[in-house]
Amino acid sequence: MPLVTSKGMLLDALEKGYAVGAFNANNLEMAQGIIQGAEEEEAPVIVQISQGGAEFAGLEEMASIVTLLANRASVPVVLHLDHGVDYAFSMKCLRAGFTSLMYDGSLHSFEKNVAVTKDVVRAGHLVGIPVEAELGQVPKDPDSCSFEELKAFMTNPEEAVSFVEKTGVDSLAISVGSMHKMKTRSATLDIERIKKIREVVDLPLVLHGSSGVTHESVQEAIEAGITKINVYTHIAKIFTMKVREILTENQGMADIRKYLAPAREEMKKEVIDKIRLFKSQGRAKGIKEVEVTPTKEETQDIIE
């Protein structure tokens, strides 16, 4: 089916108490593994390309691959920009056919984060595309931050209310105890903080850095209101481990199909595990498109 936006998908998850898996793809085989896994589980799915991933594989290249696979898929698929860090790049993604954007201004001051997010939201909404933003910081690397230091970067519920009001975002990535690029599953989340934010922010909440979070804590986070969960490091690790295993056992192997096919299959199994953990299996049929319409303020031309 044609690509859908993340709006209706995440609202369905919010209403029914599950989370949509948002998996990063950096090449054809990852995109195939993700979508095949979702099809086997009849799960809605978000395939996301980070700005860094687009620099690696090509933005239009990845957009074409995911769009083609989505058109053929039996489940709804969203093509999402993960960690867009500038306005100009977000516009290129809109042109390339992305159906969901993230603007990550978490390294900026609150004011600058609000200002750029608002611009991206306005542009997205004018063409019917929803936008995720980040408030608080989910550290980019576990080596750069200790769990003690992480507390200072966690999302403040009152700030979240003000951020959402000022920007008009459709979903919010929050910092509640996870970090990006963790290769061991040892972090537990601040579940009380998620509940507090959920009480005051009536939007889908997004968890980044899930690869380092214990499965039990992920389940509690979903019950507390997390509705989109990003997964990259763990599936990348599974893919790479399989390639390494095969090449270690077969030093002379040259045919790339012989190691990429098993790696894709292994990664697909992991996607299926995550879909079950997130309770999104069998939810594909319930997804309805929800139109994203700009507010009156967003349609107003800016004339000083």
Which residues are part of the catalytic machinery?
82
CB 238 within 8 A of CB 267: yes
Among 118, 208, 228, 283, binds Co ion (CB under 5 A): 208
Q: Using DSSP, state whether 272 is helix, strand or coil.
A: helix
Complex with Co ion: residue 16 or 183, whichever CB lies closer: 183
Complex with Co ion: residue 189 or 287, whichever CB lies closer: 189
Residue 274 as a binder of Co ion (CB under 5 A): the answer is: no
CB of 137 to Co ion, least distance (A): 11
CB of 254 to Co ion, least distance (A): 30
Task: Give the residue ranges of DSSP H helices in the chain.
Answer: 6-16, 28-41, 51-57, 59-72, 87-95, 110-126, 147-150, 157-167, 191-200, 215-224, 233-249, 256-277, 296-299
Size of the site for Co ion (CB under 5 A): 1
CB of 71 to Co ion, least distance (A): 27
Binding segment toward Co ion, per CB under 5 A, in 33-41, 107-115, 205-213, 251-259? 205-213
CB of 268 to Co ion, least distance (A): 12
Complex with Co ion: residue 73 or 84, whichever CB lies closer: 84
Complex with Co ion: residue 208 or 264, whichever CB lies closer: 208
**Other CB atoms within 10 Å distance of the CB of residue 183:** 12
In sequence order, which residues have a C-beta less than 8 Å from that of residue 31 and are 6 or more positions away? 25, 47, 62, 65, 66, 69
The sign of the dihedral angle between the CA atoms of 163, 165, 166, 169 is: positive
Span 218-247, contacts to Co ion by CB under 5 A: none
CB 125 within 8 A of CB 168: yes
Interface residue list for Co ion (CB under 5 A): 208
